[in-house]
């Protein structure tokens, strides 16, 4: 496969001096960012670093937020949230079809999407009958069915157990390879970002402090020693040092 | 979550789609190592058919037994068989049919108007800030006034005929339907609103797919309260200048000391109340089958 950087020329998302603030506190501080079409990007940061605010701005969900700057995003955008956000009163297939035209052709696409995430045969189940991982798969199917140009994911695996999370990583990467949307994955999990993304941005106090391209082939192993180098750089940018335990025995962000 | 912890196939053939957790405890007779007893389920267990009739049946049996043993003064309370006999007589006379139909008609009109008003007001108030500003406070004010206290005023306004009776029933019905539906509407998770925006739903689809299904559980609570209210107010209203109806029939019987006729009236009220409530419960269970609660 040709290096991704050569295929990706047209930007899917473009931010110019994007600023957002809540109650006078600046959360995004004049962010400039281009995400080329089809790129798998991860956005890392501490809680409160502004990463969710950035995602919500791109998704167009920040109605009440004070801000300025320019933002270009594609027309077809799908969002996967941390919770699956399935409507408990609609069966799984009807949840996947929420927002589509509701004709036969859409239903068929919904079935295909469910099969793709490994939920074939569960079309008629209620969301409460699915496990946490299955619910999140259904949410992925719901976002796929709209054939998005841009997939925004806000810590989509944060609420899942570690084993399910590893399986979901592989699934997400597989889906991306098949459909090639641009992906912006917001996460606070450094390993998740390294294993999945081709480019990792670190956001700190509303600014992008590191923009890292991960030039390793997929699938990536969690044990790949070369990934360890990326890991160190990312943790340094996040202000976390693994080898120095803090007073209470936990590894924390260095005080400045 | 998807554990298939060797749940023994006891009675699970019929109870499909049970939650995996919790159920395995109750039916788990396979003996878990390291545990002497079985953890008891906090849910009340499986529902048996027609169990709601057991209570009334026991009550009836006690009444019949006491009457047969001459423990009850027939002048104060007639025996069950006397009540049935009287009901048969009144039925063949044709007076009972007229009274029942009149009462049913009043209840039905009042209920229909109250239901429509309650739902319409709740939707308007729940979906628009202007609607909420105009409606919510007004309804709560209306609720604070005892509806039966409005009877004298309504008689002066609407005359002493059928209209004022239907108006009072409608008010008694719309208040609980409005309150519960509105509470359910405002309780819809804001995350679902966000989802609707992300999925590009228009306003109408948003209301149909998210608002209405989300408000249904509250609506059903209001519906059942309203139903009971319509029967309750009927008893009172039919004792005010009525010439037919169950309340009128009972009021007349009081003048002649006929407890059997009074009991016939009460019995019919009770049967209607129970039947209508059961009907709503049945619909509720069908419509809200996605909910997994203590009741199913």
Confidence of residue B30 (pLDDT cuts 50, 70, 90): very low
Q: At what angle do helices B259-287 and B212-237 cross, to 10 degrees?
A: 170
Same domain (yes/no): B6, B150: no
CA nearest B17 in A: which residue?
A: A129
Same domain (yes/no): B128, B249: yes
* Residue A13 pLDDT > 70: yes
Q: Which of A164, A117, A125 is nearest to A141 (CA)?
A: A117
Same domain (yes/no): B98, B208: yes
Instruction: Point out the least confidently predicted range of A143-147, A214-218, B182-186.
Output: A214-218
Same domain (yes/no): B104, B6: no
Partners of A61 on chain B (C-beta within 8 Å) are 194, 197-198
In this prediction, residue A244 carries a pLDDT of 58
CA–CA dist A216, A228 (Å, integer): 12
In this prediction, residue B32 carries a pLDDT of 45
Same domain (yes/no): B92, B24: no
Residue B54: inside a domain, yes or no? no
Give the distance from residue B4's alpha carbon to the nearest chain A alpha carbon, in angstroms. Answer: 13
Is the alpha carbon torsion for B88, B94, B98, B104 positive or negative?
positive
Residue B292: inside a domain, yes or no? no
CA–CA dist B235, B267 (Å, integer): 12
Residue B26: inside a domain, yes or no? yes
Partners of B216 on chain A (C-beta within 8 Å) are 89
Confidence of residue B135 (pLDDT cuts 50, 70, 90): very high
In this prediction, residue A250 carries a pLDDT of 53
Cβ atoms B219, B69 nearer than 8 A = no
* Residue B18 pLDDT > 80: no
Residue B294: inside a domain, yes or no? no
Q: Which residues of A46-65 are buried (b: 16+ CB within 10 A; e: fewer)?
A: beebbbbbbbbbbbebbeee
Instruction: Point out the least confidently predicted range of B3-17, B118-132, B150-164, B215-229.
Output: B3-17
Instruction: Point out the least confidently predicted range of A98-107, B121-130, B197-206.
Output: A98-107
Q: Which of A147, A140, A143, A203 is nearest to A170 (CA)?
A: A140
* Residue A140 pLDDT > 90: yes
* Residue B209 pLDDT > 80: yes
CB atoms within 10 A of CB A73: 20
CA–CA dist B33, A169 (Å, integer): 36
CB pairs under 8 A between A and B: 55
Residue B89: inside a domain, yes or no? yes
Q: Name the domain count of chain B.
A: 2
Higher pLDDT, B46 or A193: A193
Same domain (yes/no): B33, B85: no
Residue B55: inside a domain, yes or no? no
* Beta-carbon contacts of residue A102 (< 8 Å; ≥ 6 apart): none
Give the distance from residue B22's alpha carbon to the nearest chain A alpha carbon, in angstroms. Answer: 13
C-beta atoms of A60 and B214 within 8 A: no
Query: Domain span at residue B138?
Result: 78-287
Partners of A140 on chain B (C-beta within 8 Å) are none
Helix or strand or coil: residue A231?
helix
Tens digits of per-residue pLDDT, B46-100? Answer: 777 778 788 889 998 999 999 999 988 888 888 889 999 999 999 998 888 998 9
Same domain (yes/no): B141, B228: yes
Same domain (yes/no): B113, B188: yes
**Alpha-helix runs per DSSP H in chain B:** 20-27, 54-68, 80-93, 95-127, 129-144, 151-158, 162-186, 190-198, 203-206, 212-237, 246-255, 259-287
- Residue holding tokens 């063949």? B92
Tokens representing A211 are 């923009």
Residue B67: inside a domain, yes or no? no
Residue B296: inside a domain, yes or no? no
Instruction: Point out the least confidently predicted range of A95-109, B23-37, B244-258.
Output: B23-37
From B197, B201, B292, residue closest to A128, measured CB to CB: B292
Is the alpha carbon torsion for B239, B245, B247, B248 positive or negative?
positive
Mean pLDDT of chain B: 84
Q: What is the mean pLDDT of residues B101-109?
A: 92
Same domain (yes/no): B134, B262: yes
* Residue A8 pLDDT > 60: no
- Tell me what percent of the residues of chain B surpass a pLDDT of 90: 47
Q: Which of B107, B150, B288 is nearest to A90 (CA)?
A: B288
Same domain (yes/no): B282, B213: yes
* Residue B140 pLDDT > 90: yes
Same domain (yes/no): B89, B33: no
What CATH number should be reported for the domain holding residue B206?
1.10.3720.10
Tokens representing B210 are 């998210």
Give the distance from residue A79's alpha carbon to the nearest chain B alpha carbon, in angstroms. Answer: 7
Same domain (yes/no): B191, B267: yes
């Amino acid at each position: 496969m040709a290096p991704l950087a050569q295929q990706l020329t047209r930007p899917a998302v473009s931010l110019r001096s994007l600023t957002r603030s809540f109650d006078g506190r600046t959360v995004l501080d004049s962010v400039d960012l281009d995400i080329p079409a089809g790129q798998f990007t991860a956005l890392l940061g501490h809680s409160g670093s502004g990463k969710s605010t950035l995602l919500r701005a791109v998704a167009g969900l920040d109605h009440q937020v004070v801000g300025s700057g320019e933002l270009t995003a594609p027309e077809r955008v799908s969002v996967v949230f941390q919770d699956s956000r399935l409507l408990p009163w609609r069966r799984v297939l009807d949840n996947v079809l929420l927002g589509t035209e509701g004709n036969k052709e859409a239903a068929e696409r919904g079935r295909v999407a469910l099969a793709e995430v490994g939920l074939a045969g569960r079309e008629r189940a209620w969301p409460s009958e699915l496990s946490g991982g299955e619910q999140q798969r259904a949410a992925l199917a719901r976002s796929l069915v709209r054939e998005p140009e841009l997939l925004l994911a806000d810590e989509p695996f944060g609420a899942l157990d570690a084993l399910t999370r590893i399986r979901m990583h592989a699934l997400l990467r597989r889906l991306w390879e098949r459909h090639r949307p641009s992906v912006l994955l917001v996460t606070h999990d450094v390993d998740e970002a390294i294993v999945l993304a081709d480019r990792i941005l670190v956001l700190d106090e509303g600014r992008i402090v590191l923009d890292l391209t991960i030039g390793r082939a997929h699938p990536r192993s969690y044990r790949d020693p070369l990934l360890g180098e990326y890991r160190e750089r990312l943790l340094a940018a996040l202000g976390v040092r693994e080898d120095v335990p803090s007073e209470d025995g936990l590894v924390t962000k260095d005080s400045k | 979550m998807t554990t298939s912890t060797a749940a023994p196939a006891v009675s699970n053939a019929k109870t499909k789609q049970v939650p995996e957790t919790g159920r395995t405890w109750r039916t788990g007779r396979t003996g878990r190592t390291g545990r002497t007893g079985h953890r008891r389920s906090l849910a009340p267990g499986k529902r048996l058919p027609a169990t709601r009739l057991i209570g009334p049946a026991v009550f009836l049996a006690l009444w019949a037994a006491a009457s047969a043993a001459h423990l009850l003064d027939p002048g104060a309370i007639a025996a069950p068989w006397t009540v049935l006999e009287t009901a048969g007589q009144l039925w063949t006379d044709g007076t009972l049919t007229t009274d029942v139909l009149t009462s049913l008609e009043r209840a039905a009109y009042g209920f229909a108007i109250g239901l429509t008003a309650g739902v319409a007001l709740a939707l308007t108030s729940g979906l628009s800030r202007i609607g909420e500003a105009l409606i919510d406070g007004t309804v709560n004010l209306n609720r604070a006034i005892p509806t039966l206290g409005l009877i004298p005023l309504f008689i002066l306004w609407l005359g002493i005929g059928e209209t004022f009776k239907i108006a009072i029933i409608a008010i008694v019905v719309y208040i609980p339907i409005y309150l519960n539906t509105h509470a359910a509407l405002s309780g819809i998770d804001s995350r679902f609103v966000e989802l609707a925006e992300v999925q590009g739903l228009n306003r109408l689809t948003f209301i149909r797919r998210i608002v209405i299904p989300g408000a249904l559980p509250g609506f059903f609570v209001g519906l059942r309260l309203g139903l009971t209210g319509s029967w309750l107010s009927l008893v009172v209203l039919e004792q005010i200048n009525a010439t037919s109806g169950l309340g009128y029939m009972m009021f007349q019987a009081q003048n002649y000391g006929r407890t059997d006729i009074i009991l016939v009236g009460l019995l019919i009220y009770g049967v209607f109340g129970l039947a209508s409530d059961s009907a709503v419960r049945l619909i509720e269970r069908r419509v809200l089958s996605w909910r997994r609660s203590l009741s199913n």
